[in-house]
Amino acid sequence: MIEFNLNGKAVRIDAPDDTPLLWVIRDEFGLKGTKFGCGIAMCGACTVHLDGAAVRSCSMPISMAQGKNVSTIEGFEGKHPLQEAWIEEQVPQCGYCQSGQIMQAATLLEQNGSPTDEEISAHMSANICRCMAYPRIKKAIKSAAEKSNSAVNVYDPASSVEG
């Protein structure tokens, strides 16, 4: 039995230790916003936060989530400044990569309130967008950064639970 916090709620799951966190999130807890793209940590579609760090849930055995805070795109409840910027800049095309892009971008803004173009590219090049919506991803990150202009404003539901 493995126990962890999922978007601020305590959950427990009886699954083989080596089950990737991705499939537990999607198929056991029904949070389908986190996507499967490659299974080998090369595309970023499955990105979630583990204690605030962006991780590839496809390559993270569930045993490593024990006692940790996991947050997914659903945890942002549509209120994250990046989500607003994503709509304003009309970023998604097919949209399949975008949960992962937003989760990845969120950790950039937490460390760096006003990233340069190069810093954005360096951080985001871990994530593939096959539709190649890159120009808009970049623009949206910049506009979200300008608007919040501070790392502390970033909405994190897990923090309210952990205090």
The answer to whether residue 32 forms part of the interface with ligand FES (CB under 6 A) is no
The CA dihedral of 47, 61, 159, 45, to the nearest 10 degrees, is: 10
Q: Which amino acid, residue 34?
A: T
Q: Minimal distance in Å, beta carbon 23 to another protein? A: 5
Interaction with another protein in 40-99: which residues (CB under 8 A)? 40, 42-43, 45, 72-74, 76-78, 83, 86-87, 90-99
Half-sphere exposure of 69 (CA within 13 A, CB side): 17
d(CA 118, CA 116): 5
Strands laid side by side in the 47-50 sheet? 9-13, 2-6, 69-71, 47-50, 53-56
Which CB sits closer to ligand FES, 29 or 36? 36
The answer to whether residue 29 forms part of the interface with another protein (CB under 8 A) is no
Residues at the interface with another protein (CB under 8 A): 15-16, 19-20, 23, 26-27, 30-40, 42-43, 45, 72-74, 76-78, 83, 86-87, 90-99, 102, 120-122, 124-125, 127-138
